[in-house]
Structure 1
Amino acid sequence: MGDIAKGVLGGAWTLLVGWILPSALNVAVFVFAVAPSLRTVPPVRQLWPSTQSGTGLLLLAASLLLGLVLSALQTWLYRLLEGYLLWPDLLYARACRRRTRAKHTLRDRLTLLRLQRREDEGQLAEGETAQLAALRADPRIRRAASRDHRASAIRRSLLRERLARYPVADGQIGPTRLANAIRRFEEYGYDRYRLDTQTMWHELTATAPEQARRKTELARANVDFFIALIYGHAAVAGTALLTLGSAEADPSVLLITAAVLGCLTPLWYRSAVAATDEWAAAVRALVNTGRKPLAESLGLVLPRDVEREREMWSLVTKMSRLPYHERAAALDAFRADPDQGAPCRCLSL
């Protein structure tokens, strides 16, 4: 019963922090800034409570209901901000090219810093001299080169942090910063071990250490919080602008509300991107520590060398994602001996 209670409370906590709390903040802004201008609208006049306790109860109920609805729609809310939903193909392709150029620019800026440091130390290799000259002549990074060279070690680390928010493979780059910040850890398991965590996510979280799984849920709740704020601000700001035509509207309050919320929305978006750093670290830990329990739960034994492990996870992923094929019998080489707990060697690849 204790484990069940902890699981229920843990799930309620992430729901509360990620979706209900930001919904309550947006509802509060609506009630105090926009609702007074709607009091004369018949549906609002009839539904609005006449007492302070009734108003508080309405605010609480609206926050809970809105938070639950947003949580249920979170997949679509994320995909819209990531650029995977309702984006025209032309805009999507153009945005992907722009994000790819941004990644390459960050990479080249860091490479230039590394080569300049090696030049100062007199350790440049023969091929690196030409690379350094080419980077110095590149107009994409020329403007930032001098500023980067004068930057402190901490500011240079921030450049590496920004580059780390992109996926390793250029083919995985998405059209928005949020898409790339999330895609980088979605591809982590596949890039390192050929373990497709998107396909094997439920199996991985079911067998991974509890602390690693819990860290992932809490880290995602931080990103959920800012995503809910973004959509809530957009809804309240839009309602404030539409309310300007109301008979008892206060234009100054409504315009200030819409302007402030509009200015805060980009800040929350950047905060959501930054919050994915903790989420990415949690997923990385989940993959690194959860591979062995996952293999054991599937009746497999991790090989000693990485290449063989990558081959094993590739077979496991294909068997989970694709219809069965006789080539899947190659997975027998990695299966554990039921009697000895060792890999079965009855078949070889």
Structure 2
Amino acid sequence: MGDIAKSVLGGAWTLIVGWILPTGLNLAVCFLTVAPTLRHTAPVAHLWPRTGAGTTLLLLCASLLLGLVLSALQTPLYRILEGYSLWPSWAYERGCVRQRAAKQRLADRIALLRLERRARTAAPLAAADTESLARLRADPRLAATAGRDRRRTAAQRALLGERLSRYPADDDQIAPTLLGNAIRRLEEYGYDRFRLDTQVLWNELTGTAPEQIRRQAELSRTNADFFVALLYGHAALAAVALAALAAPDPPVAVLLGTAAALVLLLPVWYRCAVNATDEWAAAVRALVNTGRKPLAEALGVVLPHRLADERRMWRLLSTLHRRPYHERAAALDAYRVTLPGTDQPNGPPTG
């Protein structure tokens, strides 16, 4: 009974903090700035409570209902911000080109700092490193940032690596937005390292992983959900504030100031959502690293000792779950657990 209660409370926490709380904050701003103008219009006047307690109850109920709706719509809401939905093909392609170039610039800045440090403190650089250092120093794109980067402290330089880590390792996985890349890097982690497609085997992976790791993976995206919900609420509230200008005798300064402040905060919440994915990515990394063995046991296979064999096994398993059966999937027999009473036991290849 205690485990059930903890599970329910944990799920409620992600829903309340991730979606209902930011919805309530947005509605509170709406009640303070926009609602006084709209409450005297005919459609709203009939529904507006007559007492302060009724207004509070309306705020709570609206926060709960709209928070539940946003939670149900979280996948399409995220996909818009990631650049996968409602983006024209030309905008998507241009965004991918821009993000790929930004990733390369970050990688070049970090490589330049590393090579310069090695040139100062270590033995003479190899010919290939010397050539790379000369190329990076001559790159006009790095000229504007090289001086500032050299003056950075060790902690500030580490932040460059943190920004680079928010991109997927494979350039073919680049998305057109910062948030899309920050989420894509955690989605591709298992496949890049072990050929374990976590998008296909997510339910199996979370169902067999250690409880603490699984809970961390569930709770870690709450902060990102909070800022995404706040961002969409601000955008909707800014539109409502501008629409309220059509009401009779509106307070123009208040409505325009509210809309302007909300619009200015949109990029702030977007950046916060991107930064919040760091904890989410760390939790997914831990889930993959520690959950592979129990997942393999649950799927009836033996985790090979050699990394190359393990990558081949996960690729076969991911393909088996993602596509219709093909005879090539029979190669999984080499990794399956020995069954009692069989004449020819199976096991992972050892050669």
Provide TM-score, normalisation by structure 1: 0.97
Listed as ranges, the matches of 1:181-200 within 5 Å are 181-200=182-201
State the partner residue of 1:154: 155
Name the CA distance, whole Å, in 1 between partners of 2:77 and 2:251: 31
Q: Is the 8 A contact 1:38 1:248 kept in 2?
A: no
Residue matched to 2:104: 104
Residue 346 (structure 1) shift: 7.6
The 2-side partners of 1:11 and 1:123 are apart by 56
Q: In the aligned structure 1, how far is the partner of 2:128 from the partner of 2:40? A: 75
Which deviates more, 7-16 or 117-126? 117-126
Q: One-letter code of the match for 2:24?
A: A
**Unaligned stretches of 5+ in structure 2?**
none
CA offsets 1:84-130 (integer angstroms, 9 cap, x no match): 00100001000100000000000000000011111112431112111
The equivalent of 1:311 in structure 2 is 312
For 1:237-316, what aligned pairs fall within 5 Å after superposition?
237-316=238-317
1:19-46 Cα shifts (integer Å, max 9, x gaps): 0000000010111100001122111100
Aligned to 2:67: 67
Q: Is the 8 A contact 2:304 2:348 kept in 1?
A: no
Task: Write the letter of the residue equivalent to 2:120.
Answer: D
8 Å Cα contact 2:302/2:348 also seen in 1: no
Match of 1:229 in 2: 230
Q: Give the 3 Å change call, closer, same or farther, for CA 346–276 of structure 1 in structure 2.
A: closer
Deviation per residue, 1:288-340 (Å, 9 max, x gap): 00000000001111001100000110110011001111211110111111339
Using the alignment, how far apart are the partners of 1:269 and 1:107 within structure 2?
23
Write out aligned runs for 1:117-128 (5 A): 117-121=117-121, 122-128=123-129
Which shows bigger deviation, 331-340 or 108-117?
331-340
User: Take 1:40 and 1:28, find their aligned partners in 2: how far apart are those partners?
Assistant: 18
Aligned residue identity for 2:319: K
What SS does the aligned partner of 1:47 have? coil
Rounded to whole Å, the distance in 1 between the matches of 2:348 and 2:81 is 48
Superimposed CA distance per residue, residues 187-209 of structure 1 (whole angstroms, 9 cap, x where no aligned partner): 00000000000000000000001
Mapped partners of 2:233, 2:345: distance in 1: 55
Aligned to 2:115: 115
Q: Does the C-alpha gap of structure 1 residues 50 and 174 become closer, same or farther in structure 2, counting only changes over 3 Å?
A: same
Structure 2 length as normaliser, TM-score? 0.96
Question: 1-side partners of 2:43 and 2:291: how far apart?
Answer: 53
Larger deviation, residues 44-53 vs 323-332: 323-332
Superposed CA deviations along residues 259-283 of structure 1, whole A, max 9, x for unmatched, are 1111111110000000000000000
CA deviation vs aligned residue, 1:42-98 (integer Å, no higher than 9, x gap): 111000000011000000000000000000000000000000001000010001000
- Whole-angstrom distance in 1 between the partners of 2:124 and 2:299: 50
State the distance in 2 between where 1:332 and 1:22 align. Answer: 50
Measure, in 1, the Cα distance between the counterparts of 2:303 and 2:276. 33
In structure 1, list runs of 5 or more residues that go unmatched.
none
- Matched positions, count: 348
Which aligned segments of 4 or more residues in structure 1 are displaced greater than 3 angstroms?
Answer: 346-349
Q: What is the percentage of aligned positions where both structures have the same residue?
A: 62
Q: Are 1:90 and 2:73 counterparts?
A: no
Q: Which residue of 1 aligns with 2:5?
A: 5
Q: Secondary structure at the match of 2:274?
A: helix
